[in-house]
Copies of this chain bind each other. A is one copy, B any other.
Amino acid sequence: MDMNCLCLKINLFYNLQYDYPMNTIELITIGDEILIGQIVDTNSAWMAQELNREGFQVVQITSIPDVREQLIEAFTNALKRADAILVTGGIGPTKDDITKQTLCEFFGTELVFNEEMYQNVLRQIAGRTGLMNELNRRQAYVPACCTPIVNEVGTAPVTWYERAGKILVSMPGVPKEMEQVMKNEILPRLKAHFHTPSLVHRTIIVKDYPESQLAVKLEEWENALPPFIKLAYLPQVGYIRLRLTGKNEDKKLLSETIEEEVGKLREILGAAIVATEDIAPEVLISRILKEAGLTLSVAESCTGGNIAHLLTLHPGSSLFFKGGVVAYSNEVKQHVLGVNPNDIENYGAVSREVVEQMAQGVRKVLKTDIAVATSGIAGPDGGTPEKPVGTVWIAASNSEKTISRKFQFGNFRERNIEKATFAAIFLAKELVEK
């Protein structure tokens, strides 16, 4: 791996060695879409993250096509290695989906009609065009030896198999169906079956630190953590999620200790801590603004609309977000936001003077309580020796004051846009809380 990730990797590697045995899981995805590169396997990443948080260890992920021999081989090998196998996909009603049939063969059983599954198929297709046909009716058949589980958001039944203490589960591959089934049915059943320790998690959102520097800063504190508390680094572009995981029978001691450690982290990291809960920064600022009854507008140059886009991806954003101006050209900065052309001339568009006037300008034009603005060089072109690619000025403004800060990000356009977006959100938060 790249040397830049070294520190991170070491941290993950050591920190995820929990001091209790972890039950092992394998994930198998069935279908051609992943193998021809048509879709990215986000299901496995989602499942691995959820399972990891519940104290399971994913030891292998396998993607195979709808081919009988490959299914049998994959099931056989996985059951040798792991305690449980979670299979997604390949259970639609069409002929090419052969997973249910192959599971019958694998477990030496046959398909039987199941009234509960049939009723679910009826419920699911009620709202759709196309009536119950033979293809849909087939969905009500399940292998005789399994425990069938109702899929609340689709027609394909979920099936659960046990053999010699090991588990195999077959689930739909449609992400929203899989996620619903995993959360409501499979994770609780797996935890009960394997008597997994109940873990307590606490996530801390940290800004302003690259992961390698954060690891150095936290080394001493981390080494002094009690043995029943583990730390994981979960870096995002623009911020880092630190996750404390605790396991202890004494729940009171556990919650007190985690609180204490979060307190120590606050002392070490100070204002770099954005939140002590697992929340996306744009959702956090939305909540803060809604609770305070404040409206927001944005003036975006280098972020090109990404702040507005991120805020409006979430429902309910119209309660605090009135809009923004993407001021990509200097004319727009002058004519729409009222930035002084002499300041653009003298200091350049990427400067404290200009970005502060952008924030003040959009706040006045859009009549909001607060505003943030960005101006920077996203790259790959436009850098100079004084202002290399990755230089970004960010300002936040309300009726009383305007604060601004300069950032030096990296060489990659997309990452610079994303980092500047989160830096702007963090500066808005800082302004509101001042």
Q: Determine if A37 is an interface residue (Cβ-Cβ < 8 Å).
A: yes
The one of B9, B16, B77 that contacts A94, using a Cβ cutoff of 8 Å: B9
With A35-B59, A61-B35, A94-B10 already in contact, the answer to whether A304 and B326 are too (CB < 8 A) is no
- Whether A324 and B323, one on each chain, are in contact in the complex, defined by CB atoms closer than 8 angstroms, is no
Interface residues of A in 359-381 (CB under 8 A from B): 365-367, 378-381
- Whether B58 and A36, one on each chain, are in contact in the complex, defined by CB atoms closer than 8 angstroms, is yes
Interface residues of A in 21-56 (CB under 8 A from B): 31-42, 44-52
Q: Determine if A402 is an interface residue (Cβ-Cβ < 8 Å).
A: no
Q: Determine if A62 is an interface residue (Cβ-Cβ < 8 Å).
A: yes
Q: Chain A contact residues: over half helix, strand or loop, or mixed? A: mixed
Q: Determine if A115 is an interface residue (Cβ-Cβ < 8 Å).
A: no
- Whether B6 and A92, one on each chain, are in contact in the complex, defined by CB atoms closer than 8 angstroms, is yes
- Whether A34 and B62, one on each chain, are in contact in the complex, defined by CB atoms closer than 8 angstroms, is no
Q: Determine if A306 is an interface residue (Cβ-Cβ < 8 Å).
A: yes
| Residue among A234, A315, A417 having the largest count of chain B Cβ atoms under 10 Å | A315
- Whether A92 and B413, one on each chain, are in contact in the complex, defined by CB atoms closer than 8 angstroms, is no
Q: Determine if A60 is an interface residue (Cβ-Cβ < 8 Å).
A: yes
| Complex A-B: 18 CB contacts under 8 Å | A3-B93, A10-B94, A12-B36, A16-B32, A34-B44, A34-B61, A37-B48, A38-B49, A39-B45, A61-B63, A305-B306, A308-B308, A308-B328, A312-B328, A315-B413, A322-B332, A325-B325, A325-B336
- Whether A307 and B305, one on each chain, are in contact in the complex, defined by CB atoms closer than 8 angstroms, is yes
